[in-house]
Amino acid sequence: MSTLDNCIFCKIARGLLPSRKVYEDDEIFAFDDIHPLAPVHFLIIPKMHIASMAHVGPEHGALLGRMLLLAPQLALAQGCRPYPEGGFRILTNTGAEGGQEVAHLHVHVMGGPRPWLKG
């Protein structure tokens, strides 16, 4: 599995930095965002280092599909209410102008009762 020694999300996925784990399998790790913008706010990441959505190719299709398929299931498990009254937001910032701060691909999943801190 590719990792970067100076990447905080690679370290979180390997358990070298602490996090509140939401989910883990052999390819994927999910954990609470340290600065939640909504009552439920967690991140789904691939364990392998992929810098952003600008770095994915056809070889990542199954992995990305699995990450997205986990989002609704984990959102409910973390306390989001069911669709349509509840629901959740999925967001992936990409690059500087896309608002990306951590250069390891991550899917934000946000939900829970309004108002949220942002959006």
The residue ranges that bind ligand 5GP (CB under 6 A) are 8, 19, 31-35, 93, 99-102
Cα 54 to chain center, whole Å?
A: 16
- Shortest Å distance, C-beta 100 to ligand 5GP: 4
- Supply the residues annotated as catalytic: 106
By the 10 Å C-beta count (0-12 exposed, 13-18 middle, 19+ buried), 103 is classed as middle
C-alpha–C-alpha distance, residues 97 and 49, integer Å: 21
The entry of ligand 5GP, Zn ion, none near residue 87 (CB within 5 to 8 angstroms by kind) is none
Whether a cis peptide bond, with omega within 30° of 0, leads into 84 is yes
Nearer to ligand 5GP, 34 or 69 (CB): 34
| Contacts with Zn ion, residue ranges (CB under 5 A) | 4, 7, 9-10, 49, 104
